[in-house]
């Protein structure tokens, strides 16, 4: 009874928001963006002197012959190159381990930092990512007690600016997850939890998937092989089946070749990390359309990889590209690098792609259109096309010629609102004293 009253209340509130939105249409402000150059990552081409119209947060016209309506607000980016927003397919916005005090050991961070603090870190990290041009983030767990979902809700409801968040909720794994808790921690105090959602049996797996779906996850993340017992191919299939009932895809953390084989055999949506990758697996991923989120740490982020590990990562990325495995840009960024924002840490990962000699157009595809597909936003958000939600960024250089141009994002438009202009963040328009975009319960 209480539940149905609450649902009725939410529906009534949603109707009110819809009426307000309709009322807004009558006096809709048109924004006209003059783009000196406009990149289409799908074709790897660039067009000069384009006009992009935005109305009610969506693109309404794109082209060279577009007439700017009288009274439109004009944003002159004729000196810049406009392109769609970037995607990081694997980040942890509510986790920030650091040299002091925890010596970059995230096991300790999960003990030191309570979820409310981590949620505020996530809000800040999200803003830093948006300022660097990342308009969509898949946030893949290790976020305390659903701080990732809280971030998604806060951004969607209109409390703060930030990228579109695709949160996984808790990472589902066998006992211990990626940690090695002591018996006291695991059985009695449970202080390493809720970093992982333990599910060892089929019943527990079903319940864990349902818990994440109920609490607002938009993708399911599992530990395929974090422990020797791991998940079998059939158990991964069970996760996929159960997640599908809630309309969710499954990403597998994979760290062994055998784990990679089981994940691909089961038909998983995406694989995180390159530890379990081989040429054979890359070919299988290409044949089955399994997304690769390799999280390729660059050697320039000192202390976060080794030369031997980096060389292997570069070789594997090159091998994946040569064998046409579906590539996404992913960072696994979850630490503080003094002097860098979270966005600057993330964009540093292009160094690995450069080292693997991936063509700029393909790096850009991994960072844009492939990112929209792995995030499942491609029908509503991502491409600069009529009808899409209006997200775009602009840089002085041409990323098709010099991918490092992406390091200098001067302009960011999110949901049709200016977030960054002339290299300066202008987030005021995104802050509200209430859920102006409607109250989404989960
Ligand atoms: Zn990760």
Per-residue pLDDT of 390-415, as tens digits, reads 999 999 999 999 999 999 999 999 99
Give the span between the Cα atoms of 59 and 55, in whole angstroms.
7
Domain-located, residue 141? yes
Domain-located, residue 22? yes
Give the span between the Cα atoms of 391 and 381, in whole angstroms.
7
pLDDT category of residue 195 using cuts at 50, 70 and 90: confident
Give the span between the Cα atoms of 330 and 316, in whole angstroms.
14
pLDDT category of residue 185 using cuts at 50, 70 and 90: confident
Domain-located, residue 437? no
User: How far apart are the CA of 124 and the centre of ligand 1, in A?
Assistant: 19
The pLDDT score that the predictor gives to residue 13 is 46
Decide if 278 contacts 257 (C-beta within 8 A).
Answer: yes
Angle between helices 202-214 and 233-245 (to 10 degrees): 30
Question: Which pLDDT tens digit goes with each residue over 118-133?
Answer: 999 999 999 999 999 9
Decide if 175 contacts 168 (C-beta within 8 A).
Answer: no
DSSP state letters, 329-373: ----B-B--TT--HHHHHHTTHHHHHHTT--HHHHHHHHTHHHHH
- Does 111 share its domain with 252? yes
Q: How many domains, the chain? A: 2
Q: Which of 375, 396, 419 is the last residue of a domain?
A: 375
Read off the pLDDT of each residue in 84-111 and give the average, rounded to a whole number.
Answer: 94
- Does 252 share its domain with 398? no
- Does 269 share its domain with 397? no
Which CATH number covers residue 319? 3.20.20.140
Domain-located, residue 235? yes
- Does 58 share its domain with 133? no
Decide if 223 contacts 174 (C-beta within 8 A).
Answer: yes
The residue ranking higher by pLDDT, 30 or 14, is 30
User: How far apart are the CA of 5 and the centre of ligand 1, in A?
Assistant: 39
Instruction: Using the Cα atoms of residue 351, residue 357, residue 360 and residue 365 in order, give the sign of their dihedral.
Output: negative
pLDDT of 5 higher than 50 = no
- Does 133 share its domain with 60? no
Read off the pLDDT of each residue in 418-438 and give the average, rounded to a whole number.
Answer: 95
The pLDDT score that the predictor gives to residue 12 is 44
Query: What tokens does 388 get?
Result: 């899409």
Domain-located, residue 442? no
Give the span between the Cα atoms of 186 and 263, in whole angstroms.
27
pLDDT of 39 higher than 80 = yes
Domain-located, residue 436? no
pLDDT of 90 higher than 50 = yes
The pLDDT score that the predictor gives to residue 182 is 78
- Does 417 share its domain with 368? no
pLDDT category of residue 200 using cuts at 50, 70 and 90: very high
What angle is formed at CA 158 by the lines to CA 152 and CA 159, rounded to 5 degrees?
A: 85
- Does 77 share its domain with 90? no
User: How far apart are the CA of 333 and the centre of ligand 1, in A?
Assistant: 7
The pLDDT score that the predictor gives to residue 1 is 41
User: How far apart are the CA of 350 and the centre of ligand 1, in A?
Assistant: 18
The pLDDT score that the predictor gives to residue 15 is 45
Q: Residue 382, SS3? A: coil
User: How far apart are the CA of 441 and the centre of ligand 1, in A?
Assistant: 27
DSSP state letters, 364-418: HHHHTHHHHHHHT-TTTBSS--TTSB--EEEESS-TTT-GGGGG---EEEETTEE
pLDDT of 331 higher than 90 = yes
Q: Quote the mean pLDDT of the chain.
A: 93
Angle between helices 257-266 and 279-288 (to 10 degrees): 10
Percent of the chain with pLDDT over 70: 93
pLDDT of 7 higher than 60 = no
The pLDDT score that the predictor gives to residue 370 is 98
User: How far apart are the CA of 144 and the centre of ligand 1, in A?
Assistant: 13
Strand order in the sheet with 196-198: 196-198, 171-173, 220-223, 250-253, 270-272, 291-293
Q: If we measure between CA atoms, which residue out of 83, 97, 115, 41 comes closest to residue 332?
A: 97
- Does 78 share its domain with 94? no
Query: What tokens does 106 get?
Result: 């995230």
Which CATH number covers residue 74? 2.30.40.10
| Range in 30-44, 164-178, 179-193, 400-414 the model is least confident about | 179-193
Q: Which of 330, 349, 375 is the last residue of a domain?
A: 375
Percent of the chain with pLDDT over 90: 86
- Report DSSP state, residue 432: -
The pLDDT score that the predictor gives to residue 30 is 97
User: How far apart are the CA of 331 and the centre of ligand 1, in A?
Assistant: 8
Give the span between the Cα atoms of 237 and 17, in whole angstroms.
40
User: How far apart are the CA of 140 and the centre of ligand 1, in A?
Assistant: 6
The pLDDT score that the predictor gives to residue 170 is 96
- Does 23 share its domain with 143? no
Question: Which pLDDT tens digit goes with each residue over 279-308?
Answer: 999 999 999 999 999 999 999 999 999 999
pLDDT category of residue 440 using cuts at 50, 70 and 90: confident
The pLDDT score that the predictor gives to residue 441 is 66
Strands (E), 64-163: 73-83, 86-91, 134-139
Domain-located, residue 438? no
Give the span between the Cα atoms of 302 and 110, in whole angstroms.
23
| Range in 26-30, 227-231, 391-395 the model is least confident about | 26-30
Domain-located, residue 317? yes
pLDDT of 257 higher than 70 = yes
- Does 214 share its domain with 280? yes
- Does 231 share its domain with 283? yes
Query: Phi and psi (nearest 5°) for 155?
Result: -75, -45
User: How far apart are the CA of 90 and the centre of ligand 1, in A?
Assistant: 6
Its domain, for residue 71, covers: 2-84+384-430
Read off the pLDDT of each residue in 24-31 and give the average, rounded to a whole number.
Answer: 68
Q: If 0-12 CB within 10 Å is exposed, 13-18 middle and 19+ buried, where does residue 22 land?
A: exposed
User: How far apart are the CA of 346 and the centre of ligand 1, in A?
Assistant: 13
- Tokens 């603090």 sit at which residue? 117
What angle is formed at CA 156 by the lines to CA 151 and CA 161, rounded to 5 degrees?
A: 70
- Report DSSP state, residue 55: E
- Does 150 share its domain with 285? yes
Q: Which of 375, 398, 418 is the last residue of a domain?
A: 375
Read off the pLDDT of each residue in 57-79 and give the average, rounded to a whole number.
Answer: 97
User: How far apart are the CA of 286 and the centre of ligand 1, in A?
Assistant: 22
CA 48 from chain centre, in angstroms, equals 30
């Amino acid at each position: 009874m209480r539940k149905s009253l609450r649902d009725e209340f939410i529906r009534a509130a949603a109707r009110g928001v819809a009426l307000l939105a309709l009322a807004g249409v009558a006096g809709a402000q048109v924004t006209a963006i003059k783009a000196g150059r406009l990149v289409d990552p799908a074709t790897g081409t660039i067009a000069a002197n384009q006009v992009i119209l935005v109305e009610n947060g969506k693109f309404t016209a794109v082209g060279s012959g577009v007439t700017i309506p009288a009274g439109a607000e004009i944003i002159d980016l004729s000196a810049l190159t406009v392109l769609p927003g970037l995607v990081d397919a694997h980040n942890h916005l509510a986790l920030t381990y650091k040299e002091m005090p925890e010596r970059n050991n995230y096991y300790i961070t999960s003990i030191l930092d309570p979820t409310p603090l981590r949620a505020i870190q996530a809000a800040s990290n999200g803003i830093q990512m948006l300022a660097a041009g990342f308009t969509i983030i898949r946030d893949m767990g290790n976020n305390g007690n659903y701080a990732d979902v809280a971030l998604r809700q806060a951004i969607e409801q209109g409390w703060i600016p930030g990228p579109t968040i695709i949160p996984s909720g808790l990472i589902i794994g066998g006992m211990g997850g990626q940690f090695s808790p002591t018996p006291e921690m695991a059985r009695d105090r449970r202080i390493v939890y809720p970093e992982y959602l333990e599910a060892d049996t089929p019943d527990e797996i079903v319940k864990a998937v349902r818990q994440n779906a109920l609490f607002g996850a938009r993708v399911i993340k599992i530990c395929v092989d974090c422990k020797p017992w791991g998940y079998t191919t059939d158990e991964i299939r069970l996760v996929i089946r159960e997640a599908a009932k809630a309309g969710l895809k499954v990403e597998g953390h994979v760290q062994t070749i055998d784990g990679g084989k089981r994940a691909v055999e089961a038909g998983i949506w995406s694989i995180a990390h390159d530890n379990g990758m081989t040429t054979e697996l890359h070919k299988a991923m290409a044949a089955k359309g399994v997304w690769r989120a390799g999280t390729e740490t660059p050697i320039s982020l000192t202390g976060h990889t080794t030369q031997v590990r980096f060389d292997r990562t570069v070789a594997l990325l090159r091998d994946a590209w040569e064998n046409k495995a579906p590539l996404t840009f992913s960072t696994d960024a979850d630490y503080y690098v003094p002097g860098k924002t979270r966005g600057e840490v993330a964009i540093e990962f292009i160094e690995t792609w450069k080292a693997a000699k991936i063509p700029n157009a393909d790096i850009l595809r991994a960072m844009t259109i492939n990112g929209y597909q792995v995030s499942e936003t491609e029908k509503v958000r991502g491409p600069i096309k009529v009808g899409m939600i209006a997200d775009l960024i602009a840089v002085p250089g041409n990323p098709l010629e010099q991918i490092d141009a992406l390091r200098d994002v001067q302009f960011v438009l999110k949901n049709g609102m200016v977030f960054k202009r002339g290299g300066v963040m202008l987030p005021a328009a995104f802050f509200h004293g209430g859920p102006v975009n409607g109250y989404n319960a989960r």
